[in-house]
Structure 1
Amino acid sequence: MIAELQQAVANYAHALDELNVPELETVLTEGTTWTFTMPGQGMLGPVAGRAAVLDFIRDGHTAQTGRVRHHLGNVVVTTTNAATAEVRAHLLQTRNTGESTQIISTGIYTFSLRRSDGRWQIAELTLTLDNAL
């Protein structure tokens, strides 16, 4: 089960970076919520519902320059049962413009996942950034 949960959050990161909307639709519950905390800027969100989250992601991709990657590390399953789980992971976000590569931000993701139709999906995502973007 732990490997399935780690795979679910890895699938999220890959789909996010590639703007793979069909994959994002399968990894997010219909009622998913996203909340972000940024130093000096407070809390953003929650962004509620799959459609609103996908719009938020599309807007973010439109605004970004270069190739942005979300690197998840130290992925740990902290609680789990047959239907729900919580996964925490460190974030290292980078941007590659072709001329330079930079670290954009670091932080901690907390994913609350639910099992539905034999697949783990993100029901709630909380991101606490260590620095403002």
Structure 2
Amino acid sequence: MTDLHVEDRLAVQEAIARYAHAFDTGDVAGFVDVFTEDGIFEAVLVDQPDQRAVFQGHAELRRFAEATMREDVHVLHHLAGVMFDSTAVEAPTSRATVLVTKQLPDGPAISTHGTYLDRWRRTSGGWRLAHRRYVALGYGAAHRSRRAPRH
């Protein structure tokens, strides 16, 4: 088994950033392109593992992106703590902490936060997500009509 070269690690980290930028800018094609043809995006709430959503393949990923990316809603994915759990070139895995903010009429608010658990595959087009599992720790004020008052 061979470990990833530095160039491969950087390419994976760039793909992680491309995912966020594509989603944040409403680039549906760019979002879908981060995944392999049979790629999977799975979202689960940590305290409700039976409450999950799974989108597999470019067609489902495109429908998901078109349904969730709206020009009138501004979101930003803030990524930190990117690390590799496995650097085996045949099946590398990584994780990253994510905080998503959304612009509300009265200011920015946290929409969700959690961890991306990623499995990667090298393709002719470069490194792509074979499976992204988003483990959400919760959803915040951005899912309510207004923020709670500060005390």
TM-score by length of 2: 0.78
Partner of 2:15: 8
Pair 1:95-2:115 in alignment: no
Count matched residues: 132
Residue 31 of structure 2: which of 24, 27, 34 is its match? 24
The structure richer in strand per residue is: 1
Partner of 2:116: 109
Distance 1:112 1:43 in 2: 21
TM-score by length of 1: 0.87
Mark the structure with the bigger radius of gyration.
2
For the aligned residue pairs, the C-alpha RMSD in angstroms reads 2.0
Distance 2:43 2:130 in 1: 15
Tell me, what secondary structure is at the counterpart of 1:71?
A: strand
Residue 43 of structure 1: which of 27, 47, 51 is its match? 51
Distance 2:69 2:28 in 1: 12
Distance 2:18 2:44 in 1: 23
Shift of 1:7: 0.8
Residue 71 of structure 1: which of 49, 72, 78 is its match? 78
Q: Write out per-residue CA displacement over residues 24-70 of structure 1, whole angstroms, 9 at most, x where no aligned residue.
A: 232111101111111447332321111101101111124x8631111
Partner of 2:4: none
Structure 1, unpaired ranges of 5+? none
Shift of 1:17: 1.2
Query: What's the % identity of the aligned pairs?
Result: 25
